[in-house]
Structure 1
Amino acid sequence: MRIVDASFMQSAQSISDSPGPDVAEIAFLGRSNVGKSSLLNTLTNRKGLAKSSSTPGKTQLINYFNIKFKTDEENGMPPDLFARFVDLPGFGYAKVSKSLKAEWNKNLTNYLEQRPNLQMFIHLIDARHPELEIDKNVDEFLEKIKRGDQLIVHAFTKTDKLKQNDLAKLKREYPEGIFISNLKKRGISDLQNKITGYLFGN
């Protein structure tokens, strides 16, 4: 199964102005500058689909993308399947007013806690800094709110910047992790297979 089409749907400030919860959603979240936009573009094979910013923390909206999958298997599954990727605001570096940041965090939390069709959390972590307190806090929060039908995936970005022995150590410490390099297109198919396997079955 593979992604055959991806398109921007809409941006929203909160659940109230988000699209209807009629399709399974996969949320991508991580620190600002972790490489989220680059990963979404590589994963969907659509350069420029997700806009990256030179200013960390600039994206303050929830961005929705329509994703179309195609299966070549003749096992009773429909030939085309659909889901939504959701690009969430990065955390950690935003230079915004305290009042805006409070509202932003509230809307983000409400989405993560209350969105009924949210099936997967893809937590992106910089492979060079896997033990940051802010990422640990996010993990604790996700584990606390996760429903039984939801899955948390740890995807480590920028692995091409690690020495081989450091990457091997990281893989030992996180045996369920996915290890990604946008530059070398490494780990992309692993992540796509993880998503399609969980949403649609293998």
Structure 2
Amino acid sequence: MVKVQQSKFVASAKKLTQCPPEDIAEIAFLGRSNVGKSTFINLLSNHFKLAKSSSTPGKTQLINFFESIWIFKEEQYKMRFVDLPGFGYAKVAKTLKEEWKKDLWEFLNCRSTIKLFIHLVDSRHTQLEIDLQVSQMLEKLCRGDQSVLKIYTKCDKLNSNQRALLSKQGLLLSTNQNLIKSQHGGVETIRLEILKKVFGYEG
């Protein structure tokens, strides 16, 4: 079992020049506003007040950095979570949206320490155009030392047949403890997958 030794907030940034040094492996989280990104980061980090949700979906447009240290089989793994602004709902001026888009693209394209992109998709709405566009963007963006992990959130809202079908396309995330124990996903499964993709762990 993966033990979370420590998790903490590091910094917030708007532009690439404001980001922390590129000194440890990073995991970037992308998802439509209201997909459950903050909840997911808090579950992974075992710190339920670490990532905070805005009361207005799409309002927060800063890149937030968190560091987390995990212990697995007596090995220590240190990583940085990068919480990117949610997309899809921001009610702001078009010029400001374009500025955010430019800053975000520069970050994703130039940040050398990102080793894994986690794309969170609402399990009830898997074919939204905006998510399909993000998937295509990540395919073009990925370097040889990077990978993409798609995770379907809110799977406790689905019935068992729907969950079984969706599990063939990606990992599932549920906050329902009974489902986590009996289903194909859950936080522990996802942590192990992260160790595999980011650090090459073969367990």
TM-score by length of 2: 0.91
Is the 1:8–1:66 contact (alpha carbons within 8 Å) kept by the matching residues of 2?
A: yes
RMSD across aligned positions (CA): 1.3
Task: Please report how far the alpha carbon of residue 190 of structure 1 lies from its aligned counterpart in structure 2 after TM superposition.
Answer: 1.2
Which of the numbers 182, 191, 199 marks the counterpart of 2:175?
A: 182
Is the 1:39–1:182 contact (alpha carbons within 8 Å) kept by the matching residues of 2?
A: no
Partners of 2:101 and 2:70 lie apart in 1 by: 32
Deviations 1:48-87 (A, max 9, x none): 10001231102200000011122334xxxxx433110000
Partners of 1:10 and 1:130 lie apart in 2 by: 32
Asked if 1:33 corresponds to 2:29, the answer is no
Partners of 1:123 and 1:67 lie apart in 2 by: 19
Partners of 1:26 and 1:143 lie apart in 2 by: 16
Task: For residue 39 of structure 1, give the secondary structure of its aligned residue in structure 2.
Answer: helix
Task: For residue 195 of structure 1, give the secondary structure of its aligned residue in structure 2.
Answer: helix
Identity of aligned residues (%): 48
The amino acid of 1:32's aligned partner reads S
Gaps of 5+ in 2: 181-185
Asked if 1:114 corresponds to 2:110, the answer is yes
Partners of 2:163 and 2:26 lie apart in 1 by: 30
Is the 1:68–1:83 contact (alpha carbons within 8 Å) kept by the matching residues of 2?
A: yes
Partners of 1:193 and 1:29 lie apart in 2 by: 19
Partners of 2:11 and 2:128 lie apart in 1 by: 32
Paired position in structure 1 for 2:4: 3
Paired position in structure 2 for 1:12: 13
1:1-202 equivalences in 2 (<5 Å): 1-73=2-74, 79-172=75-168, 174=169, 177-184=170-177, 186=180, 187-200=186-199, 201-202=201-202
Partners of 2:198 and 2:8 lie apart in 1 by: 19
Query: May I ask how many residue pairs the two structures share in their alignment?
Result: 194
Partners of 2:18 and 2:193 lie apart in 1 by: 29
Partners of 2:54 and 2:174 lie apart in 1 by: 19
Further displaced range: 33-42 or 52-61: 52-61
Partners of 2:139 and 2:95 lie apart in 1 by: 27
Is the 1:2–1:192 contact (alpha carbons within 8 Å) kept by the matching residues of 2?
A: no
Deviations 1:101-150 (A, max 9, x none): 11111111111111101000000000000111110000000000100110
Task: Please report how far the alpha carbon of residue 3 of structure 1 lies from its aligned counterpart in structure 2 after TM superposition.
Answer: 2.2
Partners of 2:59 and 2:66 lie apart in 1 by: 19
Partners of 1:12 and 1:137 lie apart in 2 by: 24
Gaps of 5+ in 1: 74-78
The amino acid of 1:182's aligned partner reads T
Task: Please report how far the alpha carbon of residue 43 of structure 1 lies from its aligned counterpart in structure 2 after TM superposition.
Answer: 1.2
Partners of 1:93 and 1:113 lie apart in 2 by: 23
Task: For residue 89 of structure 1, give the secondary structure of its aligned residue in structure 2.
Answer: coil
